[in-house]
Structure 1
């Protein structure tokens, strides 16, 4: 039933999924042309929003009525495909329109919207591979709305969108690639998110909705710009050609042209109407427009450029004495006679600590000087306006400041007044009308490209905020200082840039190059902004010793040379990246020096000064990170902090010489650090998340505390690593492989963490080892532990089949993990076992001392251990021998001894067992030693075999029990068994035909083992020794202590019976004492034969013949009543002593 339901459910789901989207193809079965003809489709019927429409090759289709589909796909074709939408008709595509790939020249694919409407989620045009295999999207006065991306991945000769009329293209995602022919159309970037405005030529360009709309490159609009959102110039030029900038609502903080990332607005015109408009400039949303209300001139066929800066003009003097805004205006081709309008600043531009009421001077930087309060200029604090009325020139930089001080300072020798190229002939961009040269102090206020052929020299350069200097391809030398508040770039591989004096990048400033031009520094680098030379250029430091410092990160990627006899010192204070070098740094000779005093990141193949020169890296607190993504050589020297890092993983950081790290040392994830034959010392903490990979046996590595979280110590040779502190890995698993390792302090395996020991090459020596996680010795490695081994309940200790060598004095194996299994245990020191069960599953060896702690257990599986210094005497401890085969039992003192497993157990030396012994049923305990003393109970389910060539003495102070055998027949020797317990029983007692002895010597009442195999039986100690069954004594019965009670059983003897003074032999009712022929009962104590009426106590002959009864002792006594004495020889001979008054033969 359940299977049927599952099959029905699957069938239902498949049916539902199959109806989510269906495919429609064109078979032309109707009129063969019109989309609306149901018979043209397979299956019949116009597509719906659930249909994927696939158009095959050679088809020409007209959408003659409103239509819809899920997706529209053109197949790859050998014949042309054309779809056109009639005027007033709408095609709704819920998903994507996917053009195919024509396979024959001039057999193109065309979708013509014409004067209709197309709505879709996205349009994809692929790269057809041929310039005459084209994909076209046409529209005239119609509307295309794309709620996603328009992606043209082919070139303009293969993918084209073309407007023939004034239609509208709305796109909410990416519009990129291919070719766009504008016609008189409007392109509206109307997405709710950020969009990039592709650098097509537009007729009308509109931005709307939300998100940031940013230029991709210089862009020209020839119809008009419609700002229903903001356009971020993003450092590029927006060209408005003889047209207007408008908005559907109002300009302001939302609808504007944003200069936050720099850029230029250019307006080209040939009549007044092109210039007479509001230019809605803004910086970070602060609306600061320029409005031109009137313009006249003899020639207004040209262009104007506007740039907005959100800072106090850098060539004003003083602080807080001018607005923090200025406008830069430039024109070309215009001859003006009158121009009127105003600049408008934001309230924040005149905020405290600026006193706006003191700002009474309109300043225009033009003609090499500040022009102040020119005729026709004015200001209005209420309206935040700087006005100009019927002036003849507005070129220059405009701002508003105080009337004294602000505009009174000396200007640079020469400064830029427009964007342009710095070459030998372009004088128009310079304030002096001449190209600067040697001795000039140059200020860059605009976007300048240096292309002076072949080279030139100036005294100093200042690149101000908002300005840019592109060093490009020639040679520029600055003999004194360079100050960068704006931007310096170098986007060409040619040229050489020489900065003889101090090179300073101020906050907000930026220096960058990804090219190979040469850079020479002679006075040091201070970077408080951005400094990034990422190209493969030649970098030189010469002239004098110098410093690289500042709060911003510095990146130098070129091959760098430090001149002879000088030092370059890194003092960059940026705490995230510091100084980054991406290619080799070396000295011109051995006198060159690189000093690191802060953070240095090395991505070059060799460390600094690896080949030539001196690396000084021991300054307190400094850090050098070697982070190349390939193999890398680390300069051998003294470091403070050292980090080896490899983002790609698998590459080696190889030490190039003896090295000391005074601070911390780190190997990051997946990074290989190889000291090779060098000595390596880290005096601080070491973190190894990668691999400490020593591939050479020479050299020694000395570390302090090591965090091996996620890392490995594993080399290609038996390298020596000494950890003189702790070894931990709290946040990741660790591995120790091929290495000669010594850990002087604790090794801690945290809960949840694993230490893998593999492979087994090299020796491993630990001090204290604490395991709360997983210890995994998969390579069966021999491990030396000189301290304590602690394994707790959360641990898994997989010891492998190696040998664990304990060498320390007064250490222990402890922890609350119940069982610990060591394959081989070699005790060379003194070790105390505190485990509930320490299992030695193979060999227990060594010359040291193994001490069992209170309540501990030791399980030995060794077959023939000769370990001789086992002290198992502590109260409550147990030693178990459980080999599945023959096994030797070690000499020593035991508390509890448990013998299990199979095979035979051999007791080679005398032992003392303070408490109990348990012998299982599956083997013999063979007594090779002379003496075994058991202070407690003995449970014998196997066989205790007295064997060998010497007399054996077994003494049991407690109870004897079990189903086994005590075999005293070995060697026919006079063996002894001393029993001191109250309860005694055994499966069988075996003796040889010699007078071996069983002595019940307990100071308590005792039960006598029922056996027919006693030889000499001795009763000693105190209390009653009571038979629980009939026994036979083949030799003498000596009662030397206590009372032997026959207890209604039969005691058969074959030797003499001797009762010592103060001791007794008692026969009660139904008891029988059988005495051998001619043997004598000698009573010096008390002999009692007292039965009951009809149940006499009987003394009789064992077999035939007669026996004697003598009572020689002065204190002896005989008690008789209801008795029988049979077969007496010469009667009862009472030589001395007495007859009991009551039991007196009556």
Structure 2
């Protein structure tokens, strides 16, 4: 019956088409022979005793969701095409088919062919379209020396071993997922074992078992992987060398173990799980690597010829081997990159940190393309950071703390251009006489190592408004060079290794001591001293020189201070704090005491010493040996106190001008 009209025998010749849009019924004991196309778009009823045969070239199209495929005779060369399934698999899948094709553009869920299961195919098995969803096979399917084809829009999940047998040619353009612990292809106990396997460009093989699996090697399958995905859980181990022409993905929860085999990936390697190369043999060559909360663990060396990106989550590179990144390394905002282990990590391209950089151990890091920090970079470990091969800069808007040593290769200039300052807690040093460190204009170096910076090479810190801090909380050696602004802070004694000049300002913080070690320290700007400046005597000490006005502030102490300013310029003792000097020499210019107290413990020698009119300007002479006041000029004071029982020798007149009455006190 076709649309209600009874039919006995049916003969559909080649080229003929019947579209069943209503009800199609064949009475009992009737026969049907289809060499054309019978398309079931609604209801197909075959009464008991009906014999319907699909001849070679004949086609049955199942264009409905669910329903039953005719439980009839599909001869070799016939075609069964399932095209209408959206959410429910058809029944009667356990019969013998000729060619079987799944082409469901409307499929909206994963569908299992298990009730009953697809089992026997005398022709080709074609998975053409699953609309982005899985077609799941979990039983053995026998293909009698024909082809298994997965189209570019097809996704098939093979749940058990030996799922598809006796394949002649396997042609994969879409996605094949396998749970077989023995691997995808290449042996009798793998998911498939075709005579010839073709993995077309854009195809994907996914190992997704909830447990351990072997990853079939390239030689065993006779082809390179196009895309390879490692998912599920457990460890997926290379059974042999592999080549991935496009992308490799290691999903969260899964581990890919390279072992002693070779792996080469030409596209992007995305790591959300663990990529492990924990065997000293073999070669690991990756191109671009993106980490999304993943781990790259290596005993062997890992070469990344492209870029490395930590895009999200906490990402760890760990192991005793080395890693080399040829291109740029980027840490996105919100992401963390942890360098751990005991190996050496080489970053040959630019390193840009917008998230968090951490190196908690003793791993050694080498840079060749510079470092920019716009995030957090404080846990840098005790390993050595080496800037190698090319001139580079340390840039960015956020501070950097180097906990280990910083080395600069011979012939390389490293420039600090970080706007928030860098801190070096290990030794800063060059590896040759042509190594150079430059503190750029307006930039700050906090140096916190006992050994002086750049004992080998050049230490250039003369740019405008740049600052150098010796800020260790113990003794340090201050390198001889020309500074712009120099800060002595932290605590302990900071010892000059030779004479040096400060073009700008010198600042000595409370608790810190600057010891000249017999070397002259020349300051062309201002001096703020809340600590101590000590000397071995002679012609050493601190000498304030240069044209223009100068100021002295702070309440620290000096053992030897010389005022030798050019052009009779004025050096003003500013602020309300008091300070003391053992030996004060005013050899050029004028020293003006402001609203504060200048204490001389040993000797004052000067040509022009005066005081402001402020009532609080005072001089106190202390000590146990005679003071010596002046060689020329008339020191003019507001208040004067003599506390030296041994007396004071005055080489010239001086004047006490306090009002309404001069204050002169002798004890």
Q: Which range, TM-score by smaller chain?
A: 0.7 to 0.9
Contact persistence 1:594–1:609 (CA under 8 A): no
Asked if 1:998 corresponds to 2:588, the answer is: no
Asked if 1:483 corresponds to 2:71, the answer is: no
- Which one of 674, 683, 707 corresponds to residue 257 of structure 2? 674
Distance 1:735 1:408 in 2: 62
Report deviation, 1:608: 3.5
Deviations 1:729-757 (CA, angstroms, capped at 9, x unpaired)? 33444233335322223222222223344
- Which one of 888, 913, 916 corresponds to residue 505 of structure 2? 916
Contact persistence 1:630–1:646 (CA under 8 A): no
Contact persistence 1:645–1:669 (CA under 8 A): no
Distance 1:707 1:832 in 2: 29
Distance 1:462 1:864, change over 3 A: closer
Q: Tell me what 2:559 maps to.
A: 967
Asked if 1:799 corresponds to 2:382, the answer is: no
Asked if 1:812 corresponds to 2:393, the answer is: yes
Q: Tell me what 2:447 maps to.
A: 860
Map residues 662-741 of structure 1 onto 2, 5 A cutoff.
662-713=245-296, 715=297, 717-738=298-319, 740-741=322-323
Map residues 568-967 of structure 1 onto 2, 5 A cutoff.
571-575=150-154, 577=155, 580=158, 582-584=160-162, 596-611=172-187, 619-637=200-218, 639=224, 641-647=226-232, 649=233, 651-713=234-296, 715=297, 717-738=298-319, 740-757=322-339, 759-766=340-347, 767-779=349-361, 781-792=363-374, 795-803=375-383, 805-808=385-388, 809-817=390-398, 819-829=399-409, 830-833=413-416, 834-847=418-431, 848-865=435-452, 867-868=454-455, 869-928=458-517, 930-947=519-536, 951-952=539-540, 954-957=542-545, 958-967=550-559
Distance 1:1036 1:511, change over 3 A: closer
Distance 2:393 2:35 in 1: 86
Report deviation, 1:709: 1.6
Contact persistence 2:99–2:121 (CA under 8 A): no
Q: Tell me what 1:525 maps to.
A: 125
Larger relative contact order (CA 8 Å, sep ≥ 6): 2
**Runs (5+) with no aligned partner, structure 1:** 1-280, 291-305, 308-312, 332-365, 371-406, 421-427, 432-441, 444-457, 550-570, 969-974, 992-996, 1058-1066, 1072-1094, 1096-1146
Report deviation, 1:505: 6.0
Report deviation, 1:909: 2.6
Distance 1:855 1:314, change over 3 A: farther
Distance 2:153 2:359 in 1: 45
Contact persistence 2:343–2:364 (CA under 8 A): no
Contact persistence 1:768–1:788 (CA under 8 A): yes
Report deviation, 1:854: 1.6
Distance 1:483 1:410 in 2: 9
Q: Which deviates more, 510-519 or 746-755?
A: 510-519
Deviations 1:956-1014 (CA, angstroms, capped at 9, x unpaired)? 2333333222214xxxxxx97745662354722224xxxxx834334xx4437956566
Distance 1:315 1:325, change over 3 A: farther
Distance 1:976 1:878, change over 3 A: same
Distance 1:514 1:956, change over 3 A: farther
CA RMSD of aligned residues (A): 4.7
Contact persistence 1:515–1:536 (CA under 8 A): no
Report SS of the residue matched to 1:468. Answer: coil
Normalised by the size of structure 2, how large is the TM-score? 0.73
Distance 1:842 1:408 in 2: 85
Deviations 1:593-627 (CA, angstroms, capped at 9, x unpaired)? 75544433333223344448887666433322222
Deviations 1:610-653 (CA, angstroms, capped at 9, x unpaired)? 44888766643332222223212222226353232323x3x112
Q: Tell me what 2:41 maps to.
A: none
Distance 1:1013 1:861 in 2: 33
Report deviation, 1:677: 1.5
Distance 2:500 2:328 in 1: 37
Distance 1:872 1:506 in 2: 72
Map residues 329-368 of structure 1 onto 2, 5 A cutoff.
330=27, 368=31
Report deviation, 1:463: 5.2
Report deviation, 1:805: 0.5
Distance 1:409 1:490 in 2: 21
**Runs (5+) with no aligned partner, structure 2:** 39-43, 83-89, 613-617, 663-667
Q: Tell me what 1:468 maps to.
A: 69
Report deviation, 1:574: 1.9
Contact persistence 1:596–1:622 (CA under 8 A): yes
Report deviation, 1:790: 2.2
- Which one of 25, 33, 44 corresponds to residue 328 of structure 1? 25
Distance 1:607 1:815, change over 3 A: same
**Number of residue pairs aligned between Structure 1 and Structure 2:** 584
Report deviation, 1:918: 0.9
Q: Tell me what 1:1026 maps to.
A: 610
Distance 1:603 1:470, change over 3 A: farther
Distance 1:1038 1:893, change over 3 A: same
Map residues 57-136 of structure 1 onto 2, 5 A cutoff.
none
Contact persistence 1:928–1:947 (CA under 8 A): yes
Report deviation, 1:837: 3.0
Q: Tell me what 1:381 maps to.
A: none
Distance 1:606 1:1048, change over 3 A: closer
Report deviation, 1:513: 5.1
- Which one of 131, 137, 148 corresponds to residue 548 of structure 1? 148
Report SS of the residue matched to 2:182. Answer: coil
Deviations 1:340-391 (CA, angstroms, capped at 9, x unpaired)? xxxxxxxxxxxxxxxxxxxxxxxxxx75589xxxxxxxxxxxxxxxxxxxxx
Contact persistence 2:137–2:157 (CA under 8 A): no
Report deviation, 1:660: 2.3
Distance 2:327 2:627 in 1: 66
Contact persistence 1:1000–1:1006 (CA under 8 A): no
Distance 1:314 1:632, change over 3 A: farther
Deviations 1:548-579 (CA, angstroms, capped at 9, x unpaired)? 33xxxxxxxxxxxxxxxxxxxxx52325x157
Map residues 142-221 of structure 1 onto 2, 5 A cutoff.
none
Deviations 1:805-835 (CA, angstroms, capped at 9, x unpaired)? 0314332222222x33322241324322223
Report SS of the residue matched to 1:730. Answer: strand
Distance 1:926 1:806 in 2: 31
- Which structure has the larger Rg? 1
Distance 2:383 2:36 in 1: 86
Q: Tell me what 2:615 maps to.
A: none
Distance 2:343 2:541 in 1: 49
Distance 2:144 2:15 in 1: 35
Distance 1:586 1:709, change over 3 A: same
Q: Tell me what 1:249 maps to.
A: none
Report deviation, 1:481: 0.6
Q: Tell me what 1:272 maps to.
A: none
Contact persistence 1:513–1:532 (CA under 8 A): no
Report SS of the residue matched to 2:153. Answer: coil
